Amino acid sequence: MGSIYLIRHGQASFGADNYDVLSPIGFQQSEVLGNYLDTLGIYFDRCVSGSLARQQDTARGVLGAMRARPMPTEVDDAFDEFKADEVIRAHLPDLLASEPHALDVFRNAAQHRAEFQRLFTYVIHRWISGEHDKDGLESWASFVARVQGGLERLLERAERKDRIAVFTSGGTITALLQLVIGIAPIKAFELNWQIINTSVSQLKFRDRDVALASFNSHAHLAQTKNPGLITYR
């Protein structure tokens, strides 16, 4: 059987003007994972990344720390994260009717982490329900279809025992969980909130049959005994 390693990007710049930038911790997490995979003797036959900077920089950090032969990272934007800022903006007018302070929370998310998570969860539930689709906004169903297209392209080109690394994001991994194990979107997002930066989830495949082998492994971070490296956004 072949393996697909779904690697979430390192910690990004939560609360900054540009979230799509790895933080210093994000770069450190990437290097730690690369060293760990190298110690285990895990190598990749192919590496694929979404088009986002935080995904590609994570790929460079991980692969740069591995002693295996260098290889190019293919880019497939099917593995990009959904645009959370656009989802928030589209649903904000409805939210403000019951949560008048929501705009301030979203503008100053780093100072209101718990309240941000509560409101963001509410917005995500509206989005994935399919009952509040907005014109011009990628729906949850369209997002899942995009991710499915990326998975199908991986499988079409895969050799029987390939080990494929996919550097991606939490929402994309959530969509893949729904596709692979048939979990309801609302339940998938309960798992989404637990996905740790640079954690590894493994899929096994034989032809077009895909199964989940492991989820959210972060032993590489735990073994450092540095709790500050275990982050969720």
Cβ–Cβ < 8 Å for 47, 167:
yes
* pLDDT at residue number 203: 97
* pLDDT at residue number 163: 96
Q: What is the pLDDT of residues 148-192, one digit of tens each?
A: 999 999 999 999 899 999 999 999 999 999 999 998 888 888 888
* CA-to-CA separations, 115 to 86, 123, 177, in angstroms, rounded: 19, 12, 27
* pLDDT at residue number 26: 96
* pLDDT at residue number 168: 98
Alpha carbons 232 and 216: distance in angstroms, whole number: 11
* pLDDT at residue number 130: 80
- Considering the four listed CATH numbers 3.40.50.300, 3.40.640.10, 3.90.45.10, 3.40.50.1240, the one that applies to the domain covering 2-81+139-229 is 3.40.50.1240
Per the rule left: phi > 0, alpha: psi between -120 and 50, beta: everything else, 130 is left
Residues in the chain, pLDDT under 50: none
What is the value of pTM for the model shown? 0.92
* pLDDT at residue number 15: 61
* pLDDT at residue number 17: 66
> Where does the chain hold its CATH 3.40.50.1240 domain(s)?
2-81+139-229
* CA-to-CA separations, 166 to 8, 73, 99, 162, 199, in angstroms, rounded: 8, 9, 38, 12, 12
Alpha carbons 38 and 62: distance in angstroms, whole number: 10
Alpha helices in 182-233 (DSSP H): 185-192, 219-222
Alpha carbons 9 and 3: distance in angstroms, whole number: 19
